[in-house]
């Protein structure tokens, strides 16, 4: 038995199991902290007049305001504050923490944002926990195979194919979550979902095509094919992002 590989798998199993607990808890704490600040803004928020200081090419609006003689600044997406440099607008800040504000006059909008954040947060927390937990179990499986004296997966086509299918099953929900979020975001903003649908088709084609290739041709050529895929997957991903930007710019 390969003692070095066994120690490595043991460390990975422990690390992934720990991450499956710690990372979701940390994400939940961050999301909940933000949601509670928005709840406080909805309950105690005070009005203030803000001034747009600059708008970046990427569409970020920077604004400033004064509370009791102290200046504060914040920045948001242009959709949340569609103003030009020098414009003034009504904003709401948190008296207990004046540096926290939103470019809104109606405090109820802060409560709605807090509710939306919580709805999205549990999906992210659950997805990350399950994703890391799955790979912790997969590493545990590898460790048991090693200790049982089973051949390496690289030398066992059936085991290699099984691993690929398991990894594909693990990636599918994550892919669905990411693409679902982008589709929902596009619909809320009144944008076209065509780039998102194109991304769905592309992702399924890549995953499905790779899986079928390995099932038909075996693991011997899988690594070489994976290297070839990486040469064009990244440019295509950038192309999808560019299509989304085109949709934002022209509303198509």
pLDDT above 70 covers a percentage of the chain that reads 62
> Would you list the DSSP string of 113-152?
HHHHHHHHHHHHHHHHHHHHHHHHHHHHHHHHHHHTTPPP
Helix (H) or strand (E) holding 252: none
Identify which has the larger pLDDT, 11 or 135: 11
Spell out the residues 6+ positions from residue 73 whose beta carbon is closer than 8 angstroms to its own.
53, 62, 63, 64, 65
pLDDT at 121 over 90: no
Place of tokens 């948001």: 76
Could you tell me which of 239, 177, 174, 165 has the C-alpha nearest to residue 202?
A: 239
pLDDT tens across 18-59, in order?
999 998 998 899 889 989 999 999 999 999 999 999 988 767
Contact 52, 83 (CB under 8 A): yes
Residue 225's pLDDT is: 59
Output phi, psi for 154, to 5 deg: -60, -25
Helix (H) or strand (E) holding 42: helix 3-44
Pairing relationship of beta strands 88-94 and 46-55 according to DSSP bridges: antiparallel
Residue 198's pLDDT is: 74
Spell out the residues 6+ positions from residue 114 whose beta carbon is closer than 8 angstroms to its own.
34, 35, 36, 38, 39, 42
Could you tell me which of 137, 135, 147 has the C-alpha nearest to residue 7?
A: 147
pLDDT tens across 185-223, in order?
666 555 666 776 776 777 667 666 666 666 666 555 555
Edge-to-edge strand ranges of the sheet holding 88-94: 70-77, 60-67, 46-55, 88-94, 97-102
49 forms beta bridges with 90
Helix (H) or strand (E) holding 53: strand 46-55
Could you tell me which of 53, 120, 142 has the C-alpha nearest to residue 91?
A: 53
> Would you list the DSSP string of 169-226?
HHHHHHHHHHHHHHHHHHHHTT--SHHHHHHHHHHHHHHHHHHHHHHHH-GGGHHHHH
Which pLDDT band, with edges at 50, 70 and 90, does 226 fall under? low
Spell out the residues 6+ positions from residue 105 whose beta carbon is closer than 8 angstroms to its own.
47, 90, 91, 92
d(CA 191, CA 188): 8
């Amino acid at each position: 038995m390969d003692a070095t590989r066994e120690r490595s798998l043991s460390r990975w199993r422990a690390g992934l199991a720990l991450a499956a607990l710690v990372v979701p808890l940390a994400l939940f704490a961050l999301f909940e902290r933000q949601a509670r600040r928005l709840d406080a803004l909805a309950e105690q928020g005070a009005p203030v007049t803000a001034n747009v200081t600059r708008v970046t090419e990427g569409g970020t609006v920077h604004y400033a305001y004064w509370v009791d003689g102290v200046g504060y600044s914040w920045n948001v997406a242009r959709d949340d504050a569609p103003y030009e440099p020098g414009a003034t607008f009504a904003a709401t800040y948190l008296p207990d923490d004046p540096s926290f504000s939103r470019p809104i006059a109606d405090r109820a909008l802060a409560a709605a944002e807090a509710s939306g954040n919580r709805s999205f947060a549990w999906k992210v927390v659950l997805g990350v926990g399950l994703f890391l937990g799955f790979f912790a179990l997969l590493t545990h499986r590898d460790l048991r195979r090693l200790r049982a004296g089973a051949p390496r997966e690289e030398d066992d086509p059936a085991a290699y194919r099984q691993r690929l299918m398991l990894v594909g099953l693990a990636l599918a929900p994550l892919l669905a979550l990411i693409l679902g979020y982008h589709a929902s975001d596009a619909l809320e903003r009144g944008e076209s979902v065509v780039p998102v649908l194109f991304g769905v088709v592309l992702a399924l084609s890549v995953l499905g095509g790779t899986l079928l290739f390995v099932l038909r041709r075996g693991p011997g050529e899988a690594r070489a094919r994976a290297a070839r895929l990486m040469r064009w997957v990244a440019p295509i991903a950038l192309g999808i992002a560019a299509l989304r930007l085109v949709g934002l710019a022209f509303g198509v």
